[in-house]
Amino acid sequence: MKAWILMLLALSLPALAQAEEGGKEEDVNKVAYVALTPPLVGNYALDGGPKLHVYKADVALRVTGAEAQKAVKANEPLIRNQLVALFTQQTMDSMSNVDSKEKLRQEALKQVQQIMNDETGKPVVEDLLFNNFIAQ
């Protein structure tokens, strides 16, 4: 009876190993969205006028694979700093209409990819999404 159980276990081990390897391959190609939390909040269009202009941006970064996700998380403080610097430089026009916000999103993506390329040797981030973007 014990020999039969051992034989059954011996035959099932290669199948278990294959299942684990398949799971690792899936993780490599799995798309994930890394949310930068808390949202980015700050002032922009600092033209010296009496009115204070404020933005709030909920940003998510699209990556593929667990390694890319870890790389983004490891570099999140640098990414946040660069995005805050970019948003602070904006004007009322670049924060107010849809076309300008799309240009801002593309510039933010380009800058995040540059950071990741400098830090990891690969752009890593495939897309940058504004889940919510408010400018007043």
3-class DSSP state for residue 29? Answer: coil
- CATH number, position 73: 3.30.479.30
Domain presence at residue 46: yes
Higher confidence at residue 26 or residue 125? Answer: 125
pLDDT confidence of residue 7: 47
Secondary structure letter of residue 89 according to DSSP: T
Helix (H) or strand (E) holding 15: helix 2-28
Q: Which domain holds residue 45?
A: 29-135
Domain presence at residue 12: no
Q: Is the peptide bond before 38 cis (omega within 30 degrees of 0)?
A: yes
Q: What is the pLDDT of residues 17-65, one digit of tens each?
A: 454 555 555 567 899 999 999 999 999 977 666 788 999 999 999 999 9
Domain presence at residue 22: no
Domain presence at residue 2: no
Domain total of the chain:
1
Percent of the residues in the chain that have a pLDDT greater than 90, as a whole number: 66
Domain presence at residue 116: yes
The answer to whether residues 9 and 36 touch, using CB atoms and an 8 Å cutoff, is no
- Residues 6 or more apart whose CB falls under 8 angstroms from that of 116 comprise 71, 72, 75, 79, 122, 123, 124, 125
Going by pLDDT thresholds of 50, 70 and 90, the confidence category of residue 70 is very high
pLDDT confidence of residue 85: 96
Higher confidence at residue 81 or residue 45? Answer: 81
Amino acid 51 reads K
Is 90 exceeded by the pLDDT of residue 96?
Answer: no
pLDDT confidence of residue 8: 43
Domain presence at residue 19: no
Domain presence at residue 14: no
The answer to whether residues 54 and 40 touch, using CB atoms and an 8 Å cutoff, is no
Domain presence at residue 97: yes
